[in-house]
Structure 1
Amino acid sequence: MSYTLKLFSGTANPDLSEQVSKQLGISVSTMGITRFVDGEVGVQILENVRGCDIFIVQSTCTPVNDNLMELALITDAMRRASAKRITAVIPYYGYARQDRKTKPRVPISAALVARLVESAGCDRVLSIDLHCGQIQGFFKIPVDNLMAKPVLVQEIMSRLRDLENVCIVSPDAGGAERADSFRHDFNRSFDYNAGMAVMNKKRVEANKIERMELVGNVQGCDCIIVDDMIDTAGTLCTAAKVLMENGAKRVFACATHALLNGRGVKNIEESVIEKVIVTNTVPQNKDKTHEKIIYVSVARILSEAIRRVHNEESISILF
């Protein structure tokens, strides 16, 4: 490419940005981000970006609105500084769960966030395991929805070598396709023939479950629950309890985004789950660590996607 690749980091993912920069063999470029007394965000790019290919790493996780506004302001600053192309690398896409109208007179927040990101001046978006694939259609710019599945499967292979009679479990009907795709990669990697089960979940409201029923046979199985995110871990822990009540031998879990809000860590600690494998798309704060929770990095996936986008190469191999 005739223009220079530069990697910038918002305040949400400094550690992940450093890992990505090492994989790419470049340094994270310098930028100043400040907060005014009233909470406004101040941004200044501290080096020349004219004609550069810019990648901004920023998850829109807690505090969601602050991180989203920060991403928009960084993008606007890059656009006004004459950057050649701006790609928002959003490992975790906030507001993704509000992707449709489930009751009267509510917004479709995931679509609004997409318009905000576009309006700020982004030319492309890279994300990992969007809550639902159709979010890509909310954008009018290219969106690459990368998958954390390879690193999660690899971590299972290296840590859980004594698995027997494995059953991959989706914690709800909406995640069945995700769990089946995970099972396919698991079987191919282990030369295995894992079964599958699905939980039929009915919510009263967000983070409150009315009932959960098992569809499938898990008698005597080592179960691996597969989901895209863990928020308060209520769904995860309830599903694990139902699995054990239905004869499962052991229960493990895999998820991409470890939000672990509220009692999330405490719920996992008190649950029957033996290990939970998650990625670092959301920062690993000290209050989100526990001996049951294993973090793996998505830096290799992101760095390879960034390299391929910069070199105008296909990234379909990453899917």
Structure 2
Amino acid sequence: MSEESNDKFKIFSLNGNRPLAEKIAAVCGVPLGKSTVKQFSDGEIAINLEETVRGFDVYLVQSTNEPVNDYYLELLIMIDALKRASAKTINVVLPYYGYARQDRTAKPHEPITAKLVANLLSNAGATRVLTLDLHTVQVQGFFDIPVDNLFTMPLFAHYYRRRGMVGDDYVVVSPKNSGVQRARSLAEYLDTTIAIVDTAEENDPDSGYVIGDVEGRSCIMVDDILNTGEVFSNAAKTLMKAGAKEVVACASHGLLSPPAKENLDAADIKDICITDSVSTDPARHPEKLSIISCSDLLGEAVKRIHQDQSVSPLFTMEKKDFE
């Protein structure tokens, strides 16, 4: 980014994912802004900006994984601090949007918490949101401010194409019937067909069956959120029963909530790939875990937004871009 563009441009990080924020700042060629975040003994969060932001376009990086409520409150308090310090714009970079799974009323009297969170961010003073692989793209419609939702499928396509995992010997699998569009997107990049693992009875993983042909082929499971690992573990078992040669898996957001490590280490999965959208304790990582960075993607988006350029080229990649 040019020096002139940097004059009114700052990136700050909270506690959700500082390592990723540092990488994004490096991509943009600026240092992280200085601020302090502390918590009092009663749990109250206090934030202090240690440099001026008056008239600046500010980009605030915060993933909202565990502890999701603390991280969201940090974010809301920081937005308020930036607004009161006269920041020109407050652009929230949310690599992982917590509560995105609560995007509808599935049962009577349930809240739509993803909408509530969108309201809180807008009302606090955020002027734009940049996020990565929302659980459902419709969540963008919950906001009355601009939202750019980037996709991780090109990142995973690059990861697998470098390993020669393309063509008829492979099949991209959605481990549940709600992720078909994501599987189809990755399959287009890898020149493969798709399959779906469905479960006849919700509480009986042994009732799973495969829609599609996986016999004798290597399966690439893809999902947006890897939480406890049960979905991947059960789906891998079903795929192997159906005659799959081997199973690998990828997920945009590796929450890795216990007992994810135990579930995935015991699963018949050869390799698990996630992005660094979420920062987790290495002690929770399964042995066969690979992590690829989304910092270049998010950093390039930040630069384009700041320079009033189109973000659309980042949504997809041509196959020639992987060579």
Task: Note the residue ranges of structure 2 that are not aligned, 5 or more in a row.
Answer: 316-323
- Which aligned pairs between 1:301-316 and structure 2 lie closer than 5 A? 301-316=297-312
Q: Is the 8 A contact 2:256 2:280 kept in 1?
A: no
Q: Secondary structure at the match of 1:252?
A: strand
Aligned partner of 1:190 in structure 2 is none
> For 1:195 and 1:164, how far apart are their aligned partners in 2?
8
Figure out how many residues of one structure are paired with residues of the other and give that number: 311
Equivalent in 193, 196, 201 of residue 194 of structure 2: 196
1:249–1:78 CA distance, 2 compared to 1 (3 A): same
Matched, 1:148 2:146: no
In the TM superposition, residue 186 of structure 1 has moved relative to its aligned partner by: 1.9
Q: Deviations over 1:166-186 (max 9, x none)?
A: 000011121101110111122
What is the RMSD of the two structures over their aligned residues, measured on CA atoms? 1.7
1:284-303: CA deviations, max 9, x gaps?
A: 32223233010010000000
Give per-residue Cα distances to partners, 1:8-54, cap 9 Å, x unaligned.
00101110011111111110010010101100100111000000000
TM-score normalised to the size of structure 1? 0.93
Where do 1:1-319 residues align within 5 Å? 4-159=8-163, 165-187=169-191, 194-201=192-199, 204=202, 211-319=207-315
Q: Calculate the TM-score normalised by the size of structure 2.
A: 0.92
Give distance in 1, aligned partners of 2:246 and 2:164.
Answer: 12
SS at match of 1:307: helix
Query: What is the Cα deviation at residue 149 of structure 1?
Result: 1.4
Q: Amino acid of the residue matched to residue 150 of structure 1?
A: P
SS of structure 1 residue aligned to 2:162 = helix
Alpha-carbon shift at residue 310 of structure 1 (Å): 0.3
Quick check: 2:258–2:284 contact (8 Å CA) kept in 1? no
Looking at structure 1, the residues matched to 174 and 67 of structure 2 have their Cα atoms a distance apart, in angstroms, of 28
Letter of the structure 2 residue corresponding to residue 219 of structure 1: E
More off after superposition, 282-291 vs 15-24: 282-291
CA distance in 2, matches of 1:68, 1:201: 34
CA contact (8 A) 2:167 2:190 kept: no
Deviation of 1:304 after TM superposition, in Å, equals 0.3
- TM-superposed CA distance for 1:101, in Å, is 0.7
One-letter amino acid of the structure 2 residue matched with residue 217 of structure 1: D
Residue 209 (structure 1) shift: 5.5
